[in-house]
A and B are shown apart, each in its own frame.
With several copies, the nearest count.
Chain A
Amino acid sequence: MKTIRIGNGQAFWGDSALAPLLQVRHGELDYLMLDYLAEVTMSIMQKMRARDPEQGYARDFVPLMENLLPEILDRGVKVVANAGGVNPLACARAVMEVAEKLGLADRVKVGVVSGDDIMGNVDHILEAGERLANMETNAPLTDVRDQLASANAYFGAFPIAEALAQGADIVITGRCTDASLAVGPLIHEFGWQPDDWDLLSAATIAGHVIECGAQTTGGNCMADWEQVEDMAHIGYPIAEFSEDGSFVVTKPEQMGGRVNVASVTEQLLYEIGDPNEYKTADVICDFTTIELEQIGPNRVRVSQIKGKPAPDYFKVSMSYAGGYKTTGTLVYGWPDAVKKAQAADRIVRKRLDDLNLNFDTIHTEILGANACHGSALSGPPDEDIAEVQLRIGVRGSDKKSIRRFTHEIAPLVCNGPPNVTGYFGGRSRVEEVIAYWPALMDKQYAEPLVTLFGE
């Protein structure tokens, strides 16, 4: 039975620089899948492109390709990456430059999937009758139209398959569903049709399982984390996909980590909503019929996956300027560290009151006592704790108030509770909040465009 091996080498922009290299070297891959785009990342890239029209993609991808290119060509491993961010064509141009520099330009074809950027068409789409309402609040887009910073449709996997069919060795996309980076190659290899729902669902789930890199192979795993072997050299995940729609999750044998039912289950459930209806542009996946089986060391078989017809809309990811925020921090040392931090917080709030500033939210956390889970769940703090970090954050639309707040932290060093330190970074930076606006949109309003470089 034909199987295709797809390995993940990057879970987000900033993940291990070595992982893709080691995955290519030890993974015996057909395809290398690299995921660079969190929702947060798109807004960062948006700011980059605003400063420089040739930026706005995952810059690290270019030097990575410089390192990898000879090896992937020799081994015949194809690369599919959403490194394009909000500027996939610029990303492809940069990769082609690298190929030329290495004298490999005549051996490389780079396919680009674009068209996901609908920013220029938003008004047209609104006029045509789409509300582009916020999926979370149901508010109409018109509420934030003037602050809109970006708008991208989540494309599916067929345009990627198309680029591969055209002969691309490297496919660079903008916004698409993360799993598509794995589904595209499988469509291409197995010749699936758009209504092969079960197969598309299985492939999507395979993509979902490996898209977060080492989270599948023992990383960020609560189940027996101390038993995971050689985490310093953890192997990244590989999906070995069979034409029958089942797949095996594994990792390069030579490397550390652990693939078992517990880690694969944790990852299956990662960042999902209703498991009966996990929707992408290509299919609706059902997670409830999935069966997992440990079929060997570091080999977990995933089978019995069902799919339902795709929705007739694209999910659209938009971002908009939503005000300002900043967080000031100080460290209070033993003894009574928590008490001191609490007293300092009360002092700051009183001084802010006096200044008559304008905030939507003031949020205080005491790291070491209640920062992650809040006070109720964290329970009474250790009275003898070595130190805590006081974190006071403010958010609002009045930039002057936010900036004025940043002046109120350092003074506490001399005019607040004792045994205070950790203030050497200076005043905290006022950040512009780029907020997220998810919406649904009829598929007619965005058309994937496949471009081939290097012909």
Chain B
Amino acid sequence: MAQIQLRKLAHARSGDKGSHANIGLIAKQPAFYEILQREVTTERVATHFDEICDGEVSRYELPKLSAFNFFLRDALDGGGTVTLRIDAQGKTYSAALLRMMIEVSEQELKLVNG
């Protein structure tokens, strides 16, 4: 087993919906989709964003796009016009998710490293 950073396997984009944020997480290759599905669980994302997100996290699957949508409730200190955060609309939360360390098998590691 090996620990690697999520950004090796995926890219992402994030934004706001009122006081919630969403992060679209996209596998760099369709073959990585299952690794993301296993590793980037709702629970792990909620823990990862503990300091930022005050509400629940939901995960939605979009296998045809090799992607997931994460919905983070109350993750913007009240939303775009209310918040005191510099990232008022969660535009950098995409990268925050990609900081996550995930566990992959040696075989998967080879796949990722191409």
Contacts and interface: CB of A to CB of B under 8 A. Distances in A.
Note whether A and B contact each other (Cβ less than 8 A): yes
Contacts of B93: 373
Nearest to A134: B18
Contacts of B58: 274
A269 B87 contact: no
Interface in A148-162: none
B18 to A, nearest CB: 5
Contacts of A40: 80-81
Contacts of A325: 82, 84
Contact of A272 (B12, B22, B28, B64): B22
A422 B86 contact: yes
Contacts of A270: 13, 15, 22, 24
A266 B26 contact: yes
A333 B11 contact: no
B108 to A, nearest CB: 20
Majority-rule SS of A interface residues = mixed
A289 B62 CA distance: 8
Given A275-B62, A365-B86, A372 B96 contact: yes
A221 B14 CA distance: 10
B105 interface: no
A306 B108 CA distance: 34
B42 to A, nearest CB: 14
A273 B12 contact: no
B87 A223 contact: no
A394 interface: yes
B81 A433 contact: yes
Given A395-B84, A435-B78, A435-B82, A136 B18 contact: yes
Given A266-B11, A361-B84, A421 B89 contact: yes
Contacts of B50: 376
Interface in A301-339: 304, 319, 322, 325, 327, 331, 333-335
15 contacts: A136-B74, A265-B67, A270-B15, A271-B17, A273-B20, A291-B64, A333-B91, A367-B86, A371-B86, A373-B95, A387-B92, A394-B84, A421-B87, A433-B82, A434-B81
Interface of B: 7, 11-13, 15-20, 22, 24, 26, 28, 48, 50-52, 58, 60-67, 69, 71, 73-74, 77-82, 84-89, 91-96, 98-99
